[in-house]
Structure 1
Amino acid sequence: MALVAEFDIDCDALPLVTVAAAVPAATIVLDLQFNHGDRPLFLATVTDGSDTAIETALTEAPDVREWAQIGQAGTTRRYQLVPALSFEEQLGDHVDDLRGLEALATAEAYIERIEVTVDGWRQTGWFATRETFAEFSTFWRENAGFRLHRLSRVGEPESSGEGLTDCQQEALRTAYERGYFEIPRQASLEDVAAELGISASSVSERLRRAQTQLIQETVATTWPPLPERGRVPPARPNGRD
């Protein structure tokens, strides 16, 4: 079953991170044009932030050789950027496993959205299998930083959350997708903890709190009160239990 994931890759060597850091008020969404050899053209859609500040940051960015504004609508501008570096040149000093990076380009996955942040990239992607996503997330955990925000099966409706915190939702989704709730279990607390980058005890606490919250907000509201402890409920008129 295919999965959709939203996650952060924390690596300040990724393209245009210096631009996002220079103009934090701007939202920068990046498209890569892979039909241009080892240096794919960038199409950057920028919303908000000062025009002058953005264009100054693009001019000074070490990974942008040249840029041109190709459209504008209100506070949204679109730029075509010619990179100054290949991905290998850009990430070579920061990512130890360059062969693994090249392998990601042929994985059964599609990155639908890239938002450039001050720390790296926030991506939304489609992954053919759980194993494909595990390989992708493992690579970035070992070579940079990786934080999962959302993981769901394709076509699965989004949960309203029922009052859960973001961390609790993340723990529940990850445990569910890894098979922690299956019978028999396909993953341990330690497996879920490794996926989230926290301790097993923290995962256990988040799952317990999330389950308690869901019970309180759903089925618990329909339950009749239990009899007081120490009191025997009155017998029914027909004498049956």
Structure 2
Amino acid sequence: MIVEFHIDVPLLQRTAETLGNSAIRIQRLHCEGDGCRAVAWIGPVDRPAVEAGLAQDESITDYAHVAAEGDGHWYTVHTANATIDSVSQSLLNADGFLLGAAQTGDDWIFRARFPEKSSVLAFRDALVTSDINIDIQTITDDTEASPQFGVTDPQKEVLLLALNRGYFTVPRESSLSDLAAELGISSQAASERLRRGTRTLVQNTLAAPERPLVGSPPE
């Protein structure tokens, strides 16, 4: 199961404020007794600006430049933040693992994979017990998804129909109601399948867990 959740934690918040519209994305997170190490992409911005922000950021204890990619840079950052440590340890205890995280103002959007729903509940309860506010946004049962980029069969059906009927052309050759009528479902149901399928395709291709969506801020 893939879970998307929000947590209010000030990690790299000063850096984000300093850099303005730049995106900050975490790809890997590892915590031990002396703190946590995160692999983060920051951009679009030049290296001196990033490091000026990191040098003033009290949420981290150290950082190191790894490489430039796209119009941003990869860094390893170290933090002793208790919330981040709790998230990491709770994921480990619930047999979950991080797919990625994006900084969005005052909080972070995390995406993680869990083996089953009971693991998600155990993870949530562990954070609540630690007095950490967690806002679960979506839970996707990816066992129902097709092997083609994670879309479900109903999503795949409406996406392919939209492509074949010219829904994506400019100007459009068919409407949402046309697609719904052909599928025998309501326009609202067709819209939801189309939007969710499109979101899943983008997440699992352009913003795949193996590489954050370089250069684009989170939604």
TM norm structure 1: 0.53
Larger Rg: 1
SS in structure 2 of the partner of residue 55 of structure 1 = helix
User: Given the alignment of the two structures, is residue 45 of structure 1 paired with residue 34 of structure 2, yes or no?
Assistant: no
**Displacement, 1:61?**
0.9
- 2:56 maps to what in 1? 60
Percent sequence identity is 14
CA distance in 1, matches of 2:77, 2:88: 22
Candidates 15, 18, 37, aligned match of 1:19: 15
Counterpart amino acid of 1:143?
I
- 1:120 maps to what in 2? 107
Change (3 A) 1:155 1:38: farther
- 1:87 maps to what in 2? 82
Asked if 1 retains the 8 angstrom alpha-carbon contact of 2:91 and 2:123, the reply is: yes
Q: Deviation string for 1:30-66 (max 9, x for gaps)?
A: 22233x5331222222231343432222111112122
- The structure whose RCO (Cα within 8 Å, separation 6+) is larger is 2
SS in structure 1 of the partner of residue 2 of structure 2 = strand
Asked if 2 retains the 8 angstrom alpha-carbon contact of 1:38 and 1:86, the reply is: no
Asked if 1 retains the 8 angstrom alpha-carbon contact of 2:90 and 2:126, the reply is: no
- 1:154 maps to what in 2? 143
SS in structure 2 of the partner of residue 64 of structure 1 = coil
- 2:7 maps to what in 1? 10
Asked if 2 retains the 8 angstrom alpha-carbon contact of 1:24 and 1:118, the reply is: no
Candidates 112, 130, 133, aligned match of 1:144: 133
Counterpart amino acid of 1:8?
F
CA distance in 1, matches of 2:157, 2:15: 34
**Displacement, 1:125?**
1.3
SS in structure 1 of the partner of residue 50 of structure 2 = helix
Give structure 1 regions of 4+ aligned residues with deviation exceeding 4 angstroms.
100-104, 138-142, 160-163, 214-217
In structure 2, stretches of 5+ residues that fail to align are: 160-176, 187-219
List aligned pairs for 1:88-103, cutoff 5 A.
102-103=89-90
**Displacement, 1:144?**
1.6
**Displacement, 1:103?**
4.2
- 1:33 maps to what in 2? 30
Change (3 A) 1:73 1:220: closer
CA distance in 1, matches of 2:75, 2:107: 19
Count residues in correspondence: 159
Change (3 A) 1:80 1:107: same
- 2:184 maps to what in 1? 219
- 1:197 maps to what in 2? none
RMSD across aligned positions (CA): 3.6
User: Given the alignment of the two structures, is residue 132 of structure 1 paired with residue 119 of structure 2, yes or no?
Assistant: yes
Asked if 2 retains the 8 angstrom alpha-carbon contact of 1:43 and 1:79, the reply is: yes
Asked if 1 retains the 8 angstrom alpha-carbon contact of 2:90 and 2:127, the reply is: no
**Displacement, 1:108?**
1.5
Change (3 A) 1:162 1:137: farther
Change (3 A) 1:53 1:4: same
